[in-house]
Structure 1
Amino acid sequence: MICIAVANQKGGVGKTTSAINVATALAATGSRVLLVDLDPQGNASTGLGVPQSARNKSSYDVLVGETGIDAATIATRVPRLDLLPATVDLSGAEIELVEFDARTHRLDTAIKASSARWDIVMIDCPPSLGLLTINAMVAADSLLVPLQCEFFALEGLSQLLSTVERIRARFNPGLSILGVALTMYDRRNRLTEQVSTDVRAVLGGVVFDTVIPRNVRLSEAPSHGLPALIYDHRCSGSEAYIALARELIARLPASAKAA
């Protein structure tokens, strides 16, 4: 089982959209995937069509030790894709977790104690670098970083990379950057092209070749409770996420691919 955290401390960069659609694409290839919604807003849960009323147990309950992952996980409408949903209770978890022993390892411990019936675990992190995201990074083998093609992108990325280095030094020396995915790409905008060029100049091969375009269908899909890959698999956004998933799979360890 390999664990991938989808992280960026900036909001509105396509993080949850990326988590949902990459997880869906991975499930479509035959992998058994668990998507962990670790964002108090619960957008990944909503985007997969899971209403609040169906979230009897959540990632909050797992973090505070009230239940295990297996008991809290629910099936989605996507074959082979399960969800550990989020509720608004997560908004207070940052404060509550301070009182727990090994508070940075709560999610890691829960994942390792699960039945391991999944090949890939993806974690949708909140748009911050607080204790929830730290838990995700401690549990993760690698990070998928969605990066919006806009002016402040590199500044925010440097802050995230600094946090990754601190996590490596203190908690998880094996944490790696699986890749940076450029999102909200608009070929009509010269700034978009400049940001893309700058990011690739700084990070080189860490940046995926595939870029995720601005696409109305990607924005519409969550309101229907469906991944864009199911809502409209022929739209440019869906095609881009399928291509991104192929690249991501190529970067996974051989053991994960074999699973």
Structure 2
Amino acid sequence: MTPSVDRRMPLSRRQAGRLLVAAAVAVTALITLPTAATAEAVPSASTDLCVGVQCDTPESGSFVPEAAAAASVASLEELKAQSTSGFYELPALVYRGDTQPRSVVYYAKAGELDLMPASVRNLTVVQDFARNGFNFAADGLIVIDHGMAMPVPGARAAAAKRPKAKAATINDCPDRYFCIFADEYWPYLSYAYSGPVYTGTGWHNFGTNIGKSMGNFRDGDSLLADHGMGTGTQYCARERSSDASLANNAIGNGNASSWAMLRGADDRC
């Protein structure tokens, strides 16, 4: 039998050092590969600012990349006091769940429609308000997402004597929308929610308790509740109906904390 021959050559100190470094790099790469894959699955910090209610759904708003430069404000009142139109980040005006996140909205001040970027101007809710005859020259509009907005009356309306009532046509509320008004007899529209966008999407919280009258211009019932996510006392708005005052209902005036839109077949009232 031919004896085996040891063909290994002794390594110099430099060669041994290089080999150790290469091995360390290879081991590190093996360890970090799963970590990198996991990191890619975790949302980046920028997603903490959700655009609209459905933070994980791109369709909920089309504000990026412009919204990345959103200025931060502490409240709705501070937002309304801003001197320029643009993107603003604040505690979410409408949201889901038990915790109120921060979100990005676009505030178009009265007379500054021409400053509104195409990503906002082309959203469904802005187009619906335009078709409904919204006076962009006199009033501001806070665009919350693609199916939700809040009018901001101009200075002339804020300075005018508070009206006792308004014609029951409720012209400020677009067709196929569920609208919540800040006072009885519909003087000031607080929120407008698109039926085609939010029908059947479950309960949503207001950022505060509101509502003294409503208009439900949808083919389906809409609901209000005086606690978050539909809990507590509920109010049912029949399809194609309006209510000049919520005071004569169990929910009462100014107590709505959450809302939901039912499909036409899901009659509740």
What is the TM-score when the length of structure 1 is the normalising length?
Answer: 0.28
Rg larger in structure: 2
What is the TM-score when the length of structure 2 is the normalising length?
Answer: 0.27
Higher helix share: 1
Higher strand share: 2
